[in-house]
Structure 1
Amino acid sequence: MKNAIIVATLLFLGACTRPEDAPQFIGIENIEVSKIMGTNAVLKAEAIFYNPNDVKMKLRKVNIDIELEGKKIGVINQEFTTKVPALSEFRVPLNASFDITEIGLLNGIISILGGKKVAVHYKGFVKVSVHGYPATVPIDFEEEVRM
C-alpha cells in the first residue's frame, strides 16, 4: 500500500512540470496618456508576450522600470491572476505613473509637436506560475517610440 502511494505521488509530481521556456517579452503597444494630475501623468499600455510552452500558465506579477532617453521616469508594478494560454501570444494591460518633470518640459513639448522618436528602455521582471511552480522572467527591452 505504501509503495502504491509513493508511485502515485511520483507520477503526479512528474506530470506537474515547470515550463521549458520562459514567456518572451515582445514589446509594448497602444501607449496613451490616460490622466494628468499636476506634474504626474498616468500611462495606459499593453505589454505583449508569447508563451512558447505547450502548457498554460498564470501571470502573477509585472515589475518593470521605464527609462526614457536613459532617465528613469516610472515603474510598472502590478499583480495579476491572468491565465496565459499555451503556445500563443497574450496581452497584458498595464498602468504606469510618472513625473512629467522627470522628462523635462521643453523636451516633452518638442517631442509631442515634432513627433520625435525617443528611446524607451523597459527593465525588470515578470512572475508566472505553471501548475503552482513559480518562475521569474527577466525583461530587458529597448525600442524607439514616436511621441
Structure 2
Amino acid sequence: MPAQRPGPPQQPRPRPSAAGLDLPIAGCAQLFAATPTAAGWARRHTADVLARWGVPELTDNCCLVVSELVGNAVRHAGPDRTPAVCRLVLKLLVGGVSVEVWDPSPDAVVSVREVDALSESGRGLAIVAALCGAPPVVFVAPGSGKTVVAVLPR
C-alpha cells in the first residue's frame, strides 16, 4: 500500500463562541467542605490549576475572586445542612477564566452594595466586580441551591 502524502497545512480554525461568550478550553471541578478552611484550600487548588493551564498571570486576581465567592458560599451553606459543601468550577476560556461557585442555599440575593468605609465586611462582591469588570451573575435552581459566576478577563 503506497504511503499517502499529507495534504496542505490546515489553517487553525477560530474557537467557536456563543453570543460573544468564550467556550471553555479546559475545566476543573472540586468540592470543598463548607468549613472555615474552605477558602484557603480553594485558593491553593486554584493556583495549582492555573499553573497547569499556563496562565500564572491570572493567579493573584483569580485566587482573590475564588476566596470571596467560596467564603460567601461557606457562610450561606449553613450549619443545618449535613454535610455542608460547596463546589468550585474553574473554566479556562480564550479570553479569561470563569469562576463558578455553587452552594446549597436557596437564597438568591447576591448583590454588590455600597458599604460604610469603616465597615469590616461587605466589600467582597465589590472587589469581585472590580476585578472582573462586571458583577457576578447568580443562577438559582429551586431546591438545588445557587451558582455564582464571575469571569476574569485576560
Q: Which one has the bigger strand percentage?
A: 1
TM-score relative to the length of structure 2: 0.25
TM-score relative to the length of structure 1: 0.26
Computing the radius of gyration over CA atoms, which structure comes out larger, 1 or 2? 1
Q: Which one has the bigger helix percentage?
A: 2
